[in-house]
Each structure stands twice: as structure tokens, then as C-alpha cells.
Amino acid sequence: GAGVSQSPSNKVTEKGKDVELRCDPISGHTALYWYRQSLGQGLEFLIYFQGNSAPDKSGLPSDRFSAERTGGSVSTLTIQRTQQEDSAVYLCASSAPGQGVYEQYFGPGTRLTVT
Amino acid sequence: AQSVTQLGSHVSVSEGALVLLRCNYSSSVPPYLFWYVQYPNQGLQLLLKYTSAATLVKGINGFEAEFKKSETSFHLTKPSAHMSDAAEYFCAVSDLDTGFQKLVFGTGTRLLVSP
């Protein structure tokens, strides 16, 4: 079956511009996660959506970062006024709590480069 | 809060040799533990998981890991390395303190396999 997909695969943007990163989770997965992978920080949790509950945004590094999930499916991570330190690979994952015991399935990531 | 420590940012082995990647965890409650593999320019793929059932867990591609509570360890092994095993490996623990399945990752170990 189809896995988690992310778009674009690569994004180059100028400092100060806004970017949107998209994630399509596995169909039927109610939980969706965003992580950031960067050289200096490793893999960091950003935000978590579970069904219709309020998302847990505790990992977002600043108020320039936001995310939404429409219709319990597709999610968009938005970074406003991008900075060079935002350059990283942004990974999305989904899971179906209650099945597979918290196993998360990851997409291929979006590589963001801020120039 | 849960955490994991991976000893050795790089591990080099010869093809056919034993692979041993180390992971120690810190958790106030019985943890769920995972090993993920990341090939170049790809997302993370689950190798295996420990969910409080059998302490010896077998995964894909001939990998296995043993949960040792007394040593707070979950080391990953493979009897005979293949060139295709060259990748980065991440140990992760589920952060159950906050009531959901956020993964807390180690810093990763890059496995190099020489002919």
C-alpha cells in the first residue's frame, strides 16, 4: 500500500521567505508527527496531531513555525520568515495507535535549504 | 523524561563481520524501544521494536536486538554484515510521560561496511 508521502522533496528558499511543506499520511492513520533532522541537533520532535484533539506543539522551535491538519488527513507545516538555521530535513510520520504498538511510519522527507 | 544514548557516531566493520550498535536508554517506566535505519536521502525505516513482550527481538534484514533491563540497554546486532547494511541507525524510545507516542531519538550511528 501507499506509504507516507511528502512534498516537495527539495526546497530552496531565500532568507525571509515563507515556505509550506506538505505531508500525506498513510490512509487510516489517525496520528501524524513532524520531526526535523539537522546536523547540529539530530532528530527533533516538532508537533503531533491525534485525531480531532488539539495538537501538541511543544516541539516547535519558535512562533515562526506552525502546522495544521485538514480533515484529519493531510498536514502542512509552515515556516514564516525563514532563517538559515531552519535549513534541515523535515520528516513526517504517521501511526495508527492501537495497532502496531506506536509504530511510526516515516515519509522520505523534505530537504529545506535557506540561502 | 525518556532518553537514549548511542555510543559511537561511526562504526566500521568488514563485510561478513559481526555488527554491534549500542543503545542505552533512560526511562522511569517500562519503555517501548525502536531501531530505525536511514539510507542516504531516504526517510527512516523501522528495523525492529521492543514492546515488553520477548526480550530478544528479531527484525528485518537479519537484525536483532536484546532488551536488558539490568543494563538499560537495547543493542542492535547482526551476525554477518553486508555491504547493503551501510546506513545510519537510530535508536528511539517512546516518550510515554506526556501520554503519547512521541519518539525520542538517539544521535545516530553511521555504519560503514568495507569489502
Check whether A99 has a pLDDT greater than 60: no
pLDDT exceeds cutoff 70 at B46: yes
Q: Cβ of B43 under 8 Å from any chain A Cβ?
A: yes
Residue B28 touches chain A, beta carbons under 8 Å: no
C-beta atoms of A42 and B105 within 8 A = yes
| Residue B2's pLDDT band (cuts 50, 70, 90) | confident
Compute the distance between CA of residue A71 and CA of residue B50 in angstroms, rounded to an integer.
32
Quick check: B46 and A103 CB within 8 A?
A: yes
pLDDT for the residue A103: 81
Mean pLDDT, chain B, integer: 90
pLDDT of B97 above 60: yes
Q: Select from A77, A85, A88 the least CA-distant residue to A38.
A: A88
Q: Which of A16-25, B4-13, B29-38 has the lowest mean pLDDT?
A: B29-38
How far apart CA B23 and CA B108 sit, in angstroms, is: 10
Is A101's pLDDT higher than 60? no
Burial A13-32 (b: 16+ CB within 10 A, else e): beeeeebebebbbbeebbbb
Tell me how long chain B is: 115
- In this structure, chain A runs to a length of 115
C-alpha span between B19 and B22 (Å, rounded): 10
Q: pLDDT confidence of A21, banded at 50, 70, 90?
A: very high
Please write down the long-range contacts of B59-64, taking CB distance under 8 Å and 24 or more positions apart.
Answer: B59/B35, B61/B37, B61/B85, B63/B19, B63/B35
**Does A62 score more than 90 pLDDT?**
yes
How much is the CA Rg of chain A, to the nearest whole Å?
Answer: 14
Nearest Cα residue in chain A from B41: A108
Give residue A92's pLDDT: 96
Please check the confidence at residue A40 and state whether its pLDDT lies above 80: no
CA dist B51 to B64, B84, B99, Å?
A: 14, 27, 16
Q: What are the Cα distances from residue B59, in Å, to A14, B32, B63, B105? A: 42, 15, 5, 18
Chain A residues with CB under 8 Å of B42 CB are 108-109
Q: B67, B50 in Cβ contact below 8 A?
A: yes
| pLDDT tens figures, B53-72 | 788 999 999 999 999 989 99
Query: Chain A residue closest to B99 (CA)?
Result: A56
The residues in B 63-102 lying below 8 A from A, measured between CB atoms, are: 90, 94-95, 98, 100-102
Partners of B46 on chain A (C-beta within 8 Å) are 103-105
* Distance between B45 CA and the closest CA of chain A, angstroms: 7
Q: Quick one: B7 exposed, middle or buried, by C-beta within 10 A (0-12, 13-18, 19+)?
A: middle
Q: What is the pLDDT of residue B6?
A: 95
- Distance CA(A64)–CA(A17), nearest Å, equals 11
Confidence label for B19 from pLDDT (cuts 50, 70 and 90): very high
Q: What pLDDT sits at residue B15?
A: 97
pLDDT at A113 (0 to 100) = 97
- Chain A: closest CA distance from residue B50 (Å): 9
CA distance B61 to chain A (A): 17
Contacts of A106 in chain B (CB under 8 A): 36, 43-45
Contact B49 A101 (CB under 8 A): yes
Mean pLDDT of the region A22-28:
94
Smallest Cβ–Cβ distance between A106 and the set B43, B51, B101 belongs to B43
Quote the mean pLDDT of chain A. 91
Q: How far is CA A89 from CA A9, A94, B2, B43, in A?
A: 9, 17, 24, 10
